[in-house]
Amino acid sequence: MADELDNDYKYSKETLYNLIEKGKDALDDMIDVARSSEHPRAYEVLSGLIKNVADVNDKLQDLNKKQKQLTQEDEQPAQIENQQNNFYLGSTAEIQKMLRQEDDVIDANAERIVPRES
C-alpha cells in the first residue's frame, strides 16, 4: 500500500511538472501571438493560460502538502484505541457512606458493593 501511494505521488508530481513546463512554453508562444496580433481575444487567452499555469503550480504545492501529511501520520505512534472512563452518578453523601463501610470493598467493575472475603 505504501509503495502504491509513493508511486502515485511520484507519477502525479511528474505529470504536474510536465504540465507546468508545457504551460510555460505555451505562454511564451501566446505572448508572441498576442504582441503580433494586438487582438483583445489573444490577450484574453493569454490571461487564461497564465491562470491555468498558476493553478497547476498550486496543485503541485497541495500535492506536496498532502504527501507530507500522509508520511507524518504514518510516523505517529499508535493512538489509544480502547479507553474506559468510569462515571459515578450519585451524591457526595452516598460516596461518603460507601467509604465509611469498612467491611465492604468497592469493585470498580461491579455495579454494586461486594462484601469483603475474610
Alpha-carbon gap, residue 14 to 16, rounded angstroms: 5
Please give the model's pTM, rounded to 2 decimal places. Answer: 0.57
CB 20 within 8 A of CB 57: yes
Residue 103, C-beta contacts closer than 8 angstroms, at least 6 positions apart: 115, 116
In tens digits, what is the pLDDT along the chain, a chain of 118 residues? 678 888 999 999 999 999 999 999 999 999 999 999 999 999 999 999 999 999 999 999 999 999 888 888 766 666 667 777 777 778 888 877 777 775 555 555 556 555 556 5
Q: Cell 512554453 identifies what position?
A: 25
77, 29, 74: which is closest to 53 by C-alpha? Answer: 29
